[in-house]
């Protein structure tokens, strides 16, 4: 590889890595910023379609880049690297455009974009390190195949499960948190049932050891009548919020 080709390749590689870092920073910052509606006010359907298309492009770009890198065809790597740098910036921007659909699906798009970009950044940095440490051709190729496989799996999973709209994103979020809600409901129910027990000696010898004991600094007493009523209201609220 001539020095000119090498320098051109390194510049494209560095630009792609920089694009990953800058996009990740922008996505993280967007979590605490007030969402802005894009000036062209695209439809939610168009935003989602663009998002899926960019993911498909990044899948193909990473495949093309892996093929040329494994073939040591560094002069041919400039184009896919430039394409990746551009599409990563587009992906981050598109994630923010989901503000036209709603906050929950926008959050899902931001998280998904961060995951994909992080995979690509790891791929690029891994290749750079393998060259810096003069890893063998076999080791370098194996590492690339592992990293590109991670990119492909991540993109496939996101495309298969990404919400169709904000309502679906809300339902998806609730489903992912269902186990926590069920645990909370069960805990409240157990507290109420324990408070309603008439046997003062029941479980007298058992320690209250579900993690709260450390906070309470000792064995917990039963709930008072007022606390039982409050707990029942909490239980009803959790149940209704979970199923409405």
| Nearest residue to 191 via CA among 243, 136, 233 | 233
Reply yes or no on whether the pLDDT at 217 is more than 70: no
In a domain, 201, yes or no: no
In a domain, 203, yes or no: no
Same domain for 169 and 151, yes or no, is: no
In a domain, 216, yes or no: no
What is the average pLDDT score of the chain?
Answer: 84
Domain containing 175 equals 165-196+222-243
Same domain for 94 and 171, yes or no, is: no
In a domain, 33, yes or no: yes
| Range of weakest confidence among 107-121, 156-170, 201-215 | 201-215
Q: State the average pLDDT over residues 132-147.
A: 84
In a domain, 109, yes or no: yes
**Highest-scoring range by mean pLDDT, 15-24, 69-78, 131-140, 182-191:** 15-24
Q: Which residues contact 152 (CB under 8 A, 6 or more apart)?
A: 59, 62, 63
Same domain for 3 and 101, yes or no, is: yes
Same domain for 76 and 159, yes or no, is: yes
Same domain for 230 and 153, yes or no, is: no
Asked if residue 27 lies in contact with residue 92, where contact means CB atoms within 8 angstroms, the answer is yes
Same domain for 137 and 151, yes or no, is: yes
In a domain, 211, yes or no: no
> For residues 106 and 97, what is the distance between their CA atoms, to the nearest angstrom?
8
Same domain for 18 and 102, yes or no, is: yes
Tens of pLDDT along 60-95?
999 999 999 998 888 899 999 999 999 999 999 999
Q: Which residues contact 6 (CB under 8 A, 6 or more apart)?
A: 74
Same domain for 50 and 137, yes or no, is: yes
3-state SS, 26-78, equals HHHHHCCCCCCCCCCCCCHHHHHHHHHHHHHHHHHHHHHHHHHHHCCCHHHCH
Higher per-residue confidence, 215 vs 114 = 114
pLDDT of 212: 45
Q: Which residues contact 106 (CB under 8 A, 6 or more apart)?
A: 35, 95, 96, 98, 99
In a domain, 209, yes or no: no
* CATH number of the CATH domain containing 39: 1.20.1420.10
In a domain, 206, yes or no: no
Same domain for 145 and 178, yes or no, is: no
Report the sign of the C-alpha dihedral through residues 122, 128, 134, 139, in that order: positive
Tens of pLDDT along 151-167?
999 999 999 999 999 99
Number of domains in the chain: 2
| Nearest residue to 19 via CA among 92, 100, 95 | 92
Same domain for 72 and 184, yes or no, is: no
């Amino acid at each position: 590889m001539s020095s000119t080709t090498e320098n051109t390749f390194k510049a494209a590689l560095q630009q792609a890595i920089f694009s990953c870092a800058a996009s990740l920073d922008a996505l993280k910052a967007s979590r605490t910023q007030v969402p802005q509606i894009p000036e062209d006010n695209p439809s939610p359907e168009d935003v989602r379609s663009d998002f899926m298309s960019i993911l498909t492009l990044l899948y193909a770009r990473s495949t093309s880049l892996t093929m040329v890198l494994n073939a040591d065809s560094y002069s041919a790597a400039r184009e896919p690297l430039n394409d990746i740098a551009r599409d990563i910036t587009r992906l981050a921007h598109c994630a923010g455009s989901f503000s036209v659909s709603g906050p929950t699906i926008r959050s899902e798009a931001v998280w998904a974009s961060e995951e994909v970009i992080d995979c690509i950044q790891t791929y690029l940095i891994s290749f750079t390190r393998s060259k810096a440490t003069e890893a063998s051709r076999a080791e370098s190729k194996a590492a690339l195949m592992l990293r590109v496989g991670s990119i492909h799996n991540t993109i496939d999973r996101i495309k298969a499960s990404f919400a169709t709209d904000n309502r679906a994103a809300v339902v998806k979020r609730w489903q992912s948190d269902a186990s926590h809600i069920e645990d909370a409901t069960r805990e409240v129910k157990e507290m109420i049932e324990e408070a309603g027990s008439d046997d003062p000696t029941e479980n007298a010898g058992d320690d209250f050891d579900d993690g709260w004991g450390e906070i309470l600094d000792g064995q917990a007493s039963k709930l008072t009548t007022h606390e039982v009523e409050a707990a029942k209201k909490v239980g009803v609220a959790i149940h209704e919020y979970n199923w409405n």
